[in-house]
Amino acid sequence: MTRADRENHLETLIRANASDLLAYLERRIDPRADAADVLSETFIIAWKKAGKAPSDEIGGRMWLFTIARNVLLNARRTARRRLAATDRLRWELEQSQTGTDLSDATAVRAAVGKLPADLRELIELVHWEGFSLVEAAQITGITASTARSRYASAKGRLRTALAFAPEESLS
């Protein structure tokens, strides 16, 4: 594959996943507009690593989310590079209205938020972003068996929390 082929492949990959990557970041960043900065940084890093992008769509998607996750984890420690277009995306995110959450959603989210970070991240990747447990393990850099163990633990904790804590007390 020539460099031009690799770069065209990466651009196709990025375009196909850009909206989902932004959603992933929107759900984890406050204020939401800051997701624009992390998204652009994710793309810049992806381009720097273009030669390492998996050739298949699923592998490429996992690779991009792994980069986004790492940028997110480092977001508070590093100065982010800005693209001019980032400002427009920030503005669009600031202007957009989101729906009002149902009270149960708020309660469940609070229960998820009380989980240890490593358990919480798996639950969010699987149930908010739609990844399989194996894919979530790949993105977070753990083995599938570890992911299964943590996921089972997380589900048990959530069942307990949601069964014995009325939603009113969680919200």
Partner 1 sequence: MDEEELFGRLANSAPSVAPRDDRLGIAIDQVVTESRPVHRQRKRLFVAGATLSVMLVGGTSAALASQPLLEWLGFAPDQSIQHVNANGDYCAAGMIVRPEGVPNDDASFLAAKDIFLGIDFNTLKIPDAIRNDYKYSAAAASAKAEEIAEYNAAHPEATLQPALPDPETDMLIDTAYTLMTDGLKARGLDVGHFSLEGAGTCDEVSR
Three-state helix/strand/coil letters over the chain: CCHHHHHHHHHHHHHHHHHHHHHHHHCCCCCCCHHHHHHHHHHHHHHHCHHHCCCCHHHHHHHHHHHHHHHHHHCCCCCCCCCHHHHHHHHHHHHCCCCCCCHHHHHHHHHHHCCCHHHHHHHHHHHCCCCCHHHHHHHHCCCHHHHHHHHHHHHHHHHHHHHHCCHHHHC
Q: How far is the CB of 79 from partner 1 (least distance, A)?
A: 17
Q: Restricting to residues 36-55, name those near partner 1 by CB under 8 A.
A: 36, 39-40, 43-44, 46-47
The correct pick among 68, 123, 125, 147 for binding partner 1 (CB under 8 A) is 123
Q: How far is the CB of 162 from partner 1 (least distance, A)?
A: 6
Q: Restricting to residues 57-96, name those near partner 1 by CB under 8 A.
A: 83-86, 88-89, 91-93, 96
Q: Which residues bind partner 1 (CB under 8 A)?
A: 4, 7-8, 11-12, 14-15, 18-19, 22-23, 26-27, 32, 36, 39-40, 43-44, 46-47, 83-86, 88-89, 91-93, 96-99, 101-102, 104-106, 108-109, 112, 123, 127-128, 155, 158-159, 162-163
